[in-house]
C-alpha cells in the first residue's frame, strides 16, 4: 500500500514537467497563391509632369478574360509616395473584359521616385490567383522656379492664428440684419413670381352678336374696293360656315360645299334659305378656286346675304327657368 502511494505521488509530480517539455505544434506557413497574368496590362501617369506634394493619378488598365475578377490590394503606404484615393471600373467586351484602376498618389521626394509594386487578388474559375504589376518610376520636380537656387526664393513659414481686434459688434449685427432682410425679400419675390395666377375669364358674347361684329368688320375693310375680291369671299365664307356650324352643331368649316348642304338637309333648319345659300356657296367657290371675277355689286349682295341669313335662322336661347317658389308649409 505504501509503495502504491509513492508511485502515484511520483506520477503527479512528473506529469506537469513532461507537459512543459512537450514541443508546441508547429504553425502552418501561409500558402502562396499561384500567379496569373492578364492578357494585357498598361500604366500611365497623369499629369506627365509631377511636382512634389501635388497629387497625380496613376492609371492601370488590365485586359483579362470575362470570368476573372481583379481586386487591388491596398499598398502598404511605405516609401516616398502616399496613396490618397483609389477607384475601380470594369467594362465587359464581346470576348474579354477591361478593368481600370485609378490611384491618386502624392510624392514627397525629388528626382526619380519608384511607385510601389501593385498586387492584385484574382478570382478565377480554378480558384484564387495573384498578379503583381511592377511599379513605374516617375520624375518628381520641385514647385520652385528654375532660377530659385541662383536668385533665391522667398519662403515663408506658416504662422499661428492671430487675434484680430474688433472694436464693436454693431457693424456685424447690422450686416447680419441686412442679410436676413435681403433673404426674406428674395423669398417674397420668388413666391410672388411662382404664385398661381388666375386667368381672367372673358364672358363669351352671344352667337348673333359675334357674327354681326365679324360682318361689320369685313364691311369696314372694303376689300372689294381695294381689288381684294378673292380675300373678301374667303373671309365671308368662313364667317357664314362658322355661324352655320355653331348654330346647328356640326363641323362646317371642314366640309366641302356638297357635304355642307348634305349636312344641313339632314338637320332641322327652320327658316334656312336653302336656295340662296346654294347660290352663295357656288359663287364663293367660283371666286376662290376658279378665279372668277365678281363685281362690287355682287360682293355687296353676298355680304347682305350674310346679314339676312343671320336674321332668318338665329333663335335666341331661352332664358333659364326660375326655381318655383316654395308653397305654404302644411302643419
Q: Tens digit of pLDDT for each residue in 286-303?
A: 988 888 888 899 999 999
pTM of the complete model? 0.39
Backbone angles phi, psi at 82, to 5 degrees: -125, 130
Q: Tell me: cis bond preceding 82? Omega within 30 of 0 counts.
A: no
Per-residue pLDDT tens for 239-272? 999 999 999 999 988 899 999 999 999 999 988 9
Q: Given a cut of 70, is residue 25 above it in pLDDT?
A: no
Which band of pLDDT confidence, cut at 50, 70 and 90, is reported for residue 12?
A: very low
Which whole number is the average pLDDT over 118-143? 89
The residue ranking higher by pLDDT, 207 or 151, is 207
pLDDT of residue 51: 86
Per-residue pLDDT tens for 197-211? 776 667 889 999 999
Cβ neighbour number for residue 139 with a 10 Å cutoff: 13
Whole-angstrom Cα distance, residue 255 to residue 49? 78
DSSP assignment of 246-282: HHHTS--TTS-HHHHHHHHHTS--TT--HHHHHHHHH
Label residue 59 exposed, middle or buried (CB < 10 Å: 0-12, 13-18, 19+).
middle
Which whole number is the average pLDDT over 80-108? 90
Backbone angles phi, psi at 58, to 5 degrees: -110, 105
Give CA separation, 102 vs 66, 72, 90, 171, in Å.
20, 10, 12, 50
Q: Given a cut of 70, is residue 18 above it in pLDDT?
A: no
* pLDDT above 70 coverage of the chain, percent: 79
Whole-angstrom Cα distance, residue 268 to residue 285? 25
Which whole number is the average pLDDT over 205-224? 93
3-state secondary structure of 48: coil
Amino acid at each position: 500500500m505504501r509503495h502504491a502511494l509513492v508511485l502515484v505521488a511520483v506520477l503527479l509530480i512528473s506529469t506537469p514537467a513532461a507537459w512543459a517539455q512537450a514541443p508546441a505544434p508547429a504553425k502552418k506557413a501561409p500558402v502562396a497563391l499561384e500567379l496569373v497574368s492578364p492578357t494585357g496590362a498598361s500604366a500611365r501617369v497623369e499629369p506627365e509632369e509631377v511636382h512634389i506634394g501635388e497629387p497625380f493619378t496613376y492609371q492601370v488598365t488590365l485586359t483579362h478574360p470575362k470570368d476573372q475578377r481583379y481586386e487591388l490590394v491596398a499598398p502598404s503606404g511605405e516609401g516616398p509616395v502616399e496613396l490618397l484615393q483609389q477607384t475601380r471600373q470594369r467594362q465587359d467586351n464581346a470576348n474579354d473584359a477591361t478593368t481600370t484602376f485609378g490611384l491618386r498618389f502624392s510624392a514627397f521626394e525629388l528626382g526619380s521616385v519608384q511607385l510601389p509594386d501593385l498586387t492584385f487578388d484574382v478570382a478565377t474559375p480554378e480558384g484564387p490567383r495573384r498578379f503583381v504589376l511592377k511599379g513605374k518610376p516617375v520624375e518628381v520636380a520641385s514647385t520652385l522656379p528654375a532660377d530659385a537656387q541662383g536668385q533665391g526664393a522667398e519662403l515663408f513659414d506658416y504662422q499661428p492664428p492671430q487675434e484680430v481686434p474688433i472694436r464693436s459688434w454693431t457693424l456685424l449685427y447690422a450686416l447680419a440684419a441686412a442679410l436676413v432682410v435681403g433673404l426674406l425679400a428674395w423669398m417674397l419675390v420668388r413666391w410672388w413670381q411662382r404664385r398661381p395666377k388666375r386667368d381672367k375669364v372673358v364672358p363669351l358674347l352671344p352667337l348673333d352678336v359675334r357674327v354681326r361684329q365679324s360682318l361689320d368688320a369685313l364691311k369696314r375693310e372694303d376689300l372689294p374696293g381695294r381689288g381684294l375680291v378673292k380675300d373678301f369671299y374667303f373671309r365671308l365664307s368662313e364667317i357664314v360656315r362658322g355661324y352655320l356650324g355653331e348654330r346647328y352643331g356640326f363641323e362646317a368649316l371642314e366640309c366641302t360645299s356638297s357635304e355642307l348642304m348634305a349636312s344641313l338637309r339632314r338637320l332641322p333648319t327652320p327658316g334656312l334659305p336653302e336656295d340662296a345659300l346654294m347660290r352663295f356657296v357656288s359663287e364663293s367657290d367660283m371666286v376662290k378656286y376658279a378665279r372668277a371675277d365678281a363685281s362690287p355689286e355682287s360682293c355687296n349682295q353676298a355680304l347682305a346675304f350674310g346679314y339676312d341669313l343671320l336674321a332668318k335662322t338665329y333663335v335666341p336661347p331661352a332664358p333659364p327657368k326660375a326655381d318655383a317658389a316654395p308653397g305654404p308649409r302644411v302643419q
